[in-house]
Amino acid sequence: MKRRTINRIAFVSSDTPEALAARQALEKMYGSASQDEADVIVALGGDGVMLSCLHKFMNTGMPIYGMNRGSVGFLMNEYRTENLVERLEKAEITPLHPLNIEAIDKDGNEFTARAINEVSFLRKSHQAAKLRVSVDGRVRMEELACDGIIISTPQGSTAYNLSAHGPILPIDSPLMALTPISAFRPRRWRGALLSTQNTVKIEALEADKRPVNAAADHREFRNVISTTIYQDATAESCIMFDHEHSWDERILSEMFKY
């Protein structure tokens, strides 16, 4: 592994007291460059601030290194103040490719967004959503009655997807996980593994009676009637992990938890 040289670090943080205090301490120890001049961005907080940085610096080549000052922090490294430059120079960079979502709402408005973790569809009333699922232009499920459905990337497979009992995907797998949320009919359907070459279309049936919202990471679209999702291989974000605790190791550890 070729070791990079880190001369300038830009620190960003969430607005929690823990993250702000960590940022102040690190800036005092290591200085703080502007984000335009930095060799690396160090994000302090939880997975939310990391996702925000990955979106903001997409397609810039800027690597993002997170340290956990939040709750779960699956996308973050352990928070330590000592030897930060050495850790950054040894850290492994993993490229991430987002999902694109093209959505149409009931008024005919069109929206586009990118998702690094997942695209999710959720009922917004007391009644179950009814969804039609197509893959590459062919209807694969005429009607799915459920609370919602998730299309997850490998990096997002340990997030909402895992809570919905979806599979954990190795980070380098060319796969997407399609996972139902509380499927009512067909009750036994547990989802599907799809290639990143596939294009998925989700249509809301009886949309006036059973309205559905769609979300791409932190962006939400209300009253959608049709959405198309596919991986954008031309877009890329760069995330960094300590070399002794790589993403592969994190995912393997998660797979064998019980």
Name which of 114, 117, 73 is nearest 241 in CA terms: 73
Query: What's the rounded Cα separation, in Å, for the pair 253 and 35?
Result: 33
Query: What's the rounded Cα separation, in Å, for the pair 153 and 151?
Result: 7
Catalytic residue at 47? yes
* CA distances from residue 42 to 9, 13, 26 in whole angstroms, order as listed: 7, 8, 10
Contacts of 137 by beta carbon, 8 Å cutoff, 6+ apart: 199, 201
Helix and strand totals (H; E) in the chain: 5, 17
In this structure, what DSSP letter does residue 195 have? E
E-assigned strands of 88-205? 92-96, 99-105, 110-115, 118-123, 129-135, 138-146, 148-152, 175-181, 192-195, 200-205
Query: What's the rounded Cα separation, in Å, for the pair 83 and 130?
Result: 53
Residue that is written with structure tokens 């149409």 in the block:
104
Report the Cα 111 to chain-centroid distance in Å: 19
Name which of 200, 180, 179 is nearest 137 in CA terms: 200
- Could you say which of 39, 47, 172, 208 is catalytic? 47
Residues tagged active-site: 47
